Structure 1
Amino acid sequence: MEPVVVDITQENAQQLLIEESKIRPVVVDFWAEWCSHCKTLTPLLERLAQEYNGQFLLAKIDADEQQMIASQLGVRSLPTVMIFKDGQPVDGFAGAQPESEIRQLLEKYLPEPWREDVNQAQMLMSEGQFTPALEPLRSALAAAPESSEVLLLLTQCYLELNRLDEAEKCLESIKMVDQDDVYKTLLARLELQRESAKSPEVEALEQQLATNPEDANLKLQLAVQYNQSGMHGDALELLIGILRKDLNFQDGEAKRLFLDMLATLGKSDPIAIKYQRKYYTLLY
């Protein structure tokens, strides 16, 4: 487990103030035994460090013992607090401050809460667990709907699971300015998987349906093929079209396949939610 509170000396200052601050914010507390306000502020910072559980590192510097460091950083009074990020001091304050203001200051530099979901998902993905990774990624996307990082990770999961419609929807949601090399790689992979999914059976059924667009049997057969090829949105659209005209088509076979697909996609899947609503409108 990463430390949450450390003491800074000449020996570890470079590593903790510069290198560590490239990984997470480092809150530097300059204090001294004779400083009365320090006796209130330092315990408060220590409590916050424990509460935030490693989201930032509290680095304490005894200004009397480490006068060179204090002088190099321009400390003129105690207590002084500095926030280091990416190797540089970016903010801070001098003197006693209320807890509410300190929390407000910290929140500006702490990682967003949804990043924990992203970290969890990446760990699962590294172990090949792509289905379990979907839940934390969807949670992250709900909190940060425009995050290209989250959308790209979701795309990767969907491609691994051969859920091509969901992968395409994620890629379509990424802003042009964020369409980097990773985006282009995943887009090319999606197109390749779509081409692979176009079996001779699928192409033959599509041609037949184009000639006979009202043939429910053809729609059902093509929906089965689409589902097997990861084209879940296309499959559900065909099935809902059948169910609008006959809820019990082929002794309920179309409804069974439709509901099985929704269950497989999961309750939080955007495509599943869309077609669940359409299905409810048929029932009520």
Structure 2
Amino acid sequence: MKEVTEKEFKKDVIEKSKEKPVLVDFWADWCQPCLIFSPILEELEKEYHQEFIFYKVNIKENESLALQLGIQAIPTIKIFKDGKVVASFTGVLSKQKLKSILDKFIPQQAEKLIKEAETLLKEGRFEEVEKKLKEAESLKPDNPQVKLKLGLIYFKKNEIEKAKSYLKEVTQFEDANRILSYIYFLETPEEDIDKLKKILEKNPDDLEVRLRIATQYVKKGKYREALDEYLEVIKRNKKYKDEIARKLMLKVFLILGNDASLTHEYQRKLVQVLF
């Protein structure tokens, strides 16, 4: 752990605590409990180096600072955040007990990173967004909001496999399902619609060709035309390929959004055909 003096304290502790929490160990070389506690703190510094900054203050060499901060016994640990003391305790604690104290501050740090990422995302600064979110993920790997936003940013960066891996874990969110639905169509092979239409003219009952035409319309953003073709497949055979046309219509509804007028229109038409 790095030693910090009274002269450096404002810059290294107070100011840096506005970026991430700072743990300060107030100690002295004549203090036996301090020497016992020191290896525990050094282990935690390695484990929490991304979440916290760790410093030591020798009270014998910085008596005025110790007096200002009300240090009456050692070892004393103080945690600074946003320029203020947010936790303080005296005496030797077990590693597990100290970890439980430090962990209380990690969600707050992760939340701050998420908010910063949201601001950067609005500005289109995708590389910086990814960096912030990956840092938040290292703090809270199971946070669904982090996974959702990482999926979104990878989708915007056209890193489709990474996007899918994150979004598939958070399908409780409508945005995740919307993007996954879009990716489904994005990954289907490109085909010539005019050629497919000529095939269909010769055999209007070729439902597979109708599905392929509809999917190409989705890829081109022609959602009404796509929904018409899917609906026609359902009219001709509701159970075709395990109701694939109905399922693909639902994916289109997700892409359009529940509030879209086109979604409402074709939801009504779908109900009429099915029932």
* TM-score, scaled to structure 1: 0.52
Alignment of structure 1 residues 207-226 onto 2, 5 Å: 217-226=209-218
Q: Secondary structure at the match of 2:10?
A: helix
Alignment of structure 1 residues 148-167 onto 2, 5 Å: 151-161=148-158
Q: Secondary structure at the match of 2:57?
A: strand
CA RMSD after TM alignment: 5.1
The question of whether the paired residues in 1 share the 8 Å contact of 2:14 and 2:83 is answered with yes
Q: CA deviation at 1:100?
A: 1.5
> What is the CA deviation profile of residues 96-148 of structure 1, one whole-angstrom value per residue up to 9, with x for unaligned ones?
11222111111112358989x989xx9x94299x9xxx999999998122x2x
Alignment of structure 1 residues 225-236 onto 2, 5 Å: 225-227=217-219, 229=221
Would the alpha carbon gap of residues 224 and 139 (structure 1) be closer, same or farther in structure 2, given more than 3 Å must change?
Answer: farther
Q: CA deviation at 1:34?
A: 1.6
Q: CA deviation at 1:243?
A: 11
Would the alpha carbon gap of residues 95 and 143 (structure 1) be closer, same or farther in structure 2, given more than 3 Å must change?
Answer: same
The question of whether the paired residues in 2 share the 8 Å contact of 1:7 and 1:59 is answered with yes
Alignment of structure 1 residues 137-148 onto 2, 5 Å: 143-145=142-144, 147=145
- Which amino acid is 1:143 matched to? D
Q: Which residue of 2 aligns with 1:26?
A: 22
Q: Secondary structure at the match of 2:24?
A: strand
List runs of 5+ in structure 2 lacking aligned partners: 161-166, 177-181, 183-192, 198-203, 249-275
Find the structure with the greater CA-based Rg: 2
Would the alpha carbon gap of residues 161 and 135 (structure 1) be closer, same or farther in structure 2, given more than 3 Å must change?
Answer: farther
Task: Find out whether 1:45 has 2:41 as its counterpart.
Answer: yes
Q: CA deviation at 1:154?
A: 3.5
- Which amino acid is 2:240 matched to? K
Would the alpha carbon gap of residues 60 and 144 (structure 1) be closer, same or farther in structure 2, given more than 3 Å must change?
Answer: same
The question of whether the paired residues in 1 share the 8 Å contact of 2:20 and 2:109 is answered with no
Q: Which residue of 1 aligns with 2:92?
A: 96
> What is the CA deviation profile of residues 50-75 of structure 1, one whole-angstrom value per residue up to 9, with x for unaligned ones?
23334312110001111111111111
Task: Find out whether 1:55 has 2:51 as its counterpart.
Answer: yes
Q: Secondary structure at the match of 1:92?
A: strand
Alignment equivalent of 2:105, drawn from 102, 109, 124: 109
The question of whether the paired residues in 1 share the 8 Å contact of 2:28 and 2:60 is answered with yes
Number of aligned residue pairs: 194
> What is the CA deviation profile of residues 216-266 of structure 1, one whole-angstrom value per residue up to 9, with x for unaligned ones?
5333202123135598xx89xx5997895248x9xxxx9xxx9xxxxxxxx
Q: Secondary structure at the match of 2:85?
A: strand
> What is the CA deviation profile of residues 175-216 of structure 1, one whole-angstrom value per residue up to 9, with x for unaligned ones?
xxxxxxxxxxxxxxx9xxxxxxxxxx8xxx9xxxxxx9x965
Alignment of structure 1 residues 1-284 onto 2, 5 Å: 5-110=1-106, 125-126=126-127, 143-145=142-144, 147=145, 151-161=148-158, 172=174, 217-227=209-219, 229=221, 245-246=240-241
Q: Secondary structure at the match of 1:12?
A: helix
The question of whether the paired residues in 1 share the 8 Å contact of 2:21 and 2:81 is answered with yes
The question of whether the paired residues in 1 share the 8 Å contact of 2:107 and 2:140 is answered with no
Would the alpha carbon gap of residues 229 and 156 (structure 1) be closer, same or farther in structure 2, given more than 3 Å must change?
Answer: farther
Q: Secondary structure at the match of 1:30?
A: strand
Distance 1:58 1:80 in 2: 13
Distance 2:140 2:39 in 1: 36
Distance 1:126 1:66 in 2: 43
Would the alpha carbon gap of residues 142 and 64 (structure 1) be closer, same or farther in structure 2, given more than 3 Å must change?
Answer: closer
> What is the CA deviation profile of residues 26-68 of structure 1, one whole-angstrom value per residue up to 9, with x for unaligned ones?
1110001221110111221012102333431211000111111
Q: Secondary structure at the match of 1:245?
A: coil
Q: Which residue of 2 aligns with 1:277?
A: none
